[in-house]
Copies of this chain bind each other. A is one copy, B any other.
Amino acid sequence: MGVNNIRLNCTIFVRMKTPKLRFVTPDDMEAVLGLIQELADFEKEPEAVIVTVKDLQRDAFGDQPKFSCIVAEKEGVIVGMALFYPRYSTWKGPTLHLEDLIVTQPERGTGVGKALYTAFIAEGKKQGVERIEWVVLDWNKHAVEFYKKSGANVLTDWQTVQMDQTAMGRYLATENENI
């Protein structure tokens, strides 16, 4: 009984320790897609994910990679990831955009998210960009406060606008294409 207790404590210690962070490899993409799908399920949009493992492998490792990704590993299992890519500010020049920071549900609150966030900021510093950026849901007060405390600036007056392929086709069908 006592021995079992000691073992249990050891297991908890291992789970809480700092994850190993490293850049993604093609073989990791199944786990990465698993994290993406887990978040989509959580946000009640399970059908929204149309990318495949092959898409992610091609897009991260082609001639002109479309994104970079740092994964967090614990005991050989990927438990989180930060996915980012370059953007461009016409005022500041190159910037880095954090598209997703996902930690698998059972590992939230164990420091994995913070470690990935720090790694992303370190990557921004290493690349020498003037600015890093991302978006947050305004009702996610915990995240908004965390970002503010870390020194980030939350802009409340900009709204994201998106147009999907169907709307693009509809718009163009009613307009003269001038180019």
Interface residues of chain A, those whose CB is within 8 Å of chain B, are 18-19, 21-22, 36, 40, 45, 48-51, 55, 59, 64, 66-67, 70, 83, 85-94, 97, 99-100, 115, 118-119, 121-125, 129-139, 144, 147, 150-165, 167-172, 175-179
Task: Give the chain B neighbours of A40 by CB distance below 8 A.
Answer: 91
Report whether B66 and A86 are in contact in the complex, using a CB–CB cutoff of 8 Å: yes
B154 and A121 contact, CB distance less than 8 A: no
Q: Can you tell how many copies of this chain the complex includes?
A: 2
- Taking a contact as CB atoms under 8 Å apart, the answer to whether B121 and A171 are in contact is yes
- Specify which chain B residues have a CB less than 8 angstroms from the CB of A157 in the assembled complex: 137-139
Closest chain B residue, CB of each to CB of A67: B88
- Residue contacts A-B, CB under 8 angstroms, 21 given: A19-B178, A48-B91, A83-B88, A90-B99, A115-B178, A118-B175, A119-B178, A121-B171, A121-B172, A123-B179, A131-B163, A132-B168, A136-B161, A138-B158, A147-B161, A150-B171, A151-B167, A152-B161, A154-B159, A155-B161, A156-B159
